[in-house]
Amino acid sequence: MQPEVQIANLGMGNTASISNALLRVGIRSKVLSDFEIPQSKVLFLPGVGHFSAGSIALDSKNLRETICNHLNAGGALIGICLGMQLLGISSEEGPGRGLALMDFENKKMIGPDKIGESIMGWKTPKILEENWLNLTGSERYFYTHDYALLDIDSRYVKMTHESKFNRAASAIQDGSILGFQFHPERSLKFGENLLQEAVRELNK
Amino acid sequence: MKRLVPSMVIDEKGAWVTQNFQRYVYLGEPSNAVRIFNELMSDELAINWIGRDDFVRDKTLELISAQASMPLSYTGGIGSRKDAVQIVRFGFERIGLTSSVLTNPDLVYEIANEIGRSSVVIKIPTSKLNGNWRVWDWKLSRISDFDLLDSLAILDQTQIGEISLVSVDNNGCKAGISSELVHILGSVTGTQKGYEGGASSLDDVKLAWSQGIDVVYSSTYLMVYGDYDAPLFDYPKFMEERYGS
């Protein structure tokens, strides 16, 4: 039986978590082997860790070409956490190129004293587009990140969350490319429902 | 948002809660606890590995990660960047370092540079000796020479995701939180603050939250019931009210 979605493997965490969360809502998935061509319409790009390490993994696993070909063939992409940050051009976290599928740079979150700010824990993001993925606005998700999308073009931003000193993009979308800064795979039923809705929407 | 996190000890034989880090109460299979805390919608689950067999550990962590729908943190034997990356690959979001970082503070930065500052937790067990708080040496099961206040001042500069104190004296005793340690944690400014040890009720948890603690870890209160320490998992429904859903 063909998997409904596939998961690109940066080798940087949470592919199994995504796969298991999808399975809990009845979506079969398969983790791509290196250099394997995706067969499903929806491809996930999850990741935990440093932007530069992610950039290197995109090269070493030929994922730049794989993802580019996948999108050109009409496929859809969902980036999660580091996977979302890699949709952009670059990051203040360190050297390396993103996929440049969307025009943004990941910025370090800082306060007025220039000290770095981390976001760790649960937040209920603000939804900017009514009925987007059938969300009600009461959902909560688990975040852990130091760098964020702080000044991306607002037309791409579907949800935002706030820390003490910063407001960042929680979810972005540009056509068939979607990104979540939080971890839906670790956000209980809220995250599982979101994954289900996202896959359903992108498979239309 | 403030968090309440079930914290359990795992080894080759199963899941446990500890009392003063000396007496162990058996909880059963870790996967059973994960399944129940999924249903109870806990904020997170903290796993503390104390076993010796890395093969069993890896298989256990894979199983836990596969089942958990909440965030996972891991503490136990992380001595290198490579160790931390391996645990992240199992699907754990947060990596806990213990008092060993006091002898190798560079390790904090090495790991933070690989997995991100927000994903690193420093958990310091502590106990009082002659009126002074000292860092507890987990490996040697005794109080070390490190002064807690001095150590915290150094660790606060790392600006990592969270610094937690674990009260050895209150651990697993349902004796209430140590207001003295909660006060000491107030000196930590650059990061989230965690506390573990002695919570016996939601009131204790709320008290810690009200005094600036971001995350309260609990074992006995959430996993053991009655005079005979029967394993019984619970998680306050209040959490639903707190999050407004």
Q: How far apart are alpha carbons A159 and A133 in whole angstroms?
A: 11
Disruptive mutation site among A120, A139, A195 for chain B (greatest number of B CBs within 10 Å): A120
Q: What is the pLDDT of residue B140?
A: 82
pLDDT over threshold 90, residue A113: no
pLDDT over threshold 90, residue B108: yes
With an 8 Å Cβ cutoff, are A144 and B244 in contact? Answer: no
Residue numbers in B near A16 (CB within 8 A): 62, 65-66, 90-91
For residue B45, give both structure tokens. Answer: 């689950």
Q: How far apart are alpha carbons A15 and A32 in whole angstroms?
A: 10
- Rounded mean pLDDT of A8-27? 88
Q: What is the pLDDT of residue A78?
A: 98
Residue whose structure tokens are 């080798």 = A11
- Measure B145 CA to nearest chain A CA, in Å: 31
Higher pLDDT, B229 or B178: B178
Q: What is the pLDDT of residue A182?
A: 97
pLDDT over threshold 90, residue B42: yes
Q: What is the pLDDT of residue B226?
A: 83
Residue B72: how many CA atoms within 13 Å on its side-chain side?
A: 29
Q: What is the pLDDT of residue A204?
A: 85
Q: Is B80 helix (H, G, I), strand (E, B) or coil?
A: coil
Over the stretch B148-187, which tens digit does the pLDDT of each residue have?
999 999 998 888 889 999 999 999 888 999 999 999 999 8
pLDDT over threshold 90, residue B118: no
A130 is known as an active-site residue: no
Nearest CA to A185 out of B217, B65, B239, B59 is that of B65
Disruptive mutation site among B45, B69, B216 for chain A (greatest number of A CBs within 10 Å): B69
Q: What is the pLDDT of residue B239?
A: 66
Q: What is the pLDDT of residue B244?
A: 47
Higher pLDDT, B244 or B69: B69
Q: What is the pLDDT of residue B115?
A: 86
pLDDT over threshold 80, residue A200: yes
Residue numbers in B near A17 (CB within 8 A): 65, 68, 91
Disruptive mutation site among B89, B95, B157 for chain A (greatest number of A CBs within 10 Å): B89
With an 8 Å Cβ cutoff, are B119 and A20 in contact? Answer: no
Task: pLDDT band for B117, please (50, 70, 90 cuts).
Answer: confident
Looking at the partner chain, which of B65, B70, B88 has a beta carbon nearest the beta carbon of A48? Answer: B88
Q: Inform me whether the C-beta atom of residue A191 falls under 8 Å from chain B C-beta atoms.
A: yes
- Rounded mean pLDDT of A136-144? 94
Would you say how long chain A is, in residues? 204
Would you say how long chain B is, in residues? 245
- Measure B128 CA to nearest chain A CA, in Å: 30
Q: How far apart are alpha carbons B7 and B50 in whole angstroms?
A: 13
Q: What is the pLDDT of residue A120?
A: 87
ipTM of the complex in this document: 0.84
With an 8 Å Cβ cutoff, are B89 and A49 in contact? Answer: no
Which residues lie closer than 8 Å to B103 by C-beta, 6 or more apart?
none
Q: How far is CA A111 from the centre of its chain?
A: 25
Q: What is the pLDDT of residue A3?
A: 67
With an 8 Å Cβ cutoff, are B93 and A48 in contact? Answer: yes
Residue numbers in A near B117 (CB within 8 A): 116, 118, 146
- Measure B87 CA to nearest chain A CA, in Å: 8
Q: Quick one: CA torsion of B151, B88, A151, A126, rounded to 10 degrees?
A: -100
- Measure A183 CA to nearest chain B CA, in Å: 8
pLDDT over threshold 70, residue B89: yes
pLDDT over threshold 90, residue A117: no
Task: pLDDT band for B198, please (50, 70, 90 cuts).
Answer: very high
Q: How far apart are alpha carbons A204 and B46 in whole angstroms?
A: 39
For chain B, the farthest-separated pair of C-alpha atoms sits apart, in whole angstroms, at: 48
Q: What is the pLDDT of residue B243?
A: 55
Give this prediction's pTM.
0.90
Q: Inform me whether the C-beta atom of residue A108 falls under 8 Å from chain B C-beta atoms.
A: no
Q: How far is CA A133 from CA A43, A80, A189, B42, B174, in A?
A: 18, 16, 15, 25, 44
Q: Inform me whether the C-beta atom of residue A120 falls under 8 Å from chain B C-beta atoms.
A: yes
Q: Inform me whether the C-beta atom of residue A146 falls under 8 Å from chain B C-beta atoms.
A: yes
A161 is known as an active-site residue: no
Q: Inform me whether the C-beta atom of residue A97 falls under 8 Å from chain B C-beta atoms.
A: no
A183 is known as an active-site residue: yes
What is the pLDDT of chain A when averaged over all its residues?
A: 93
Higher pLDDT, B226 or A188: A188
Q: What is the pLDDT of residue B245?
A: 40
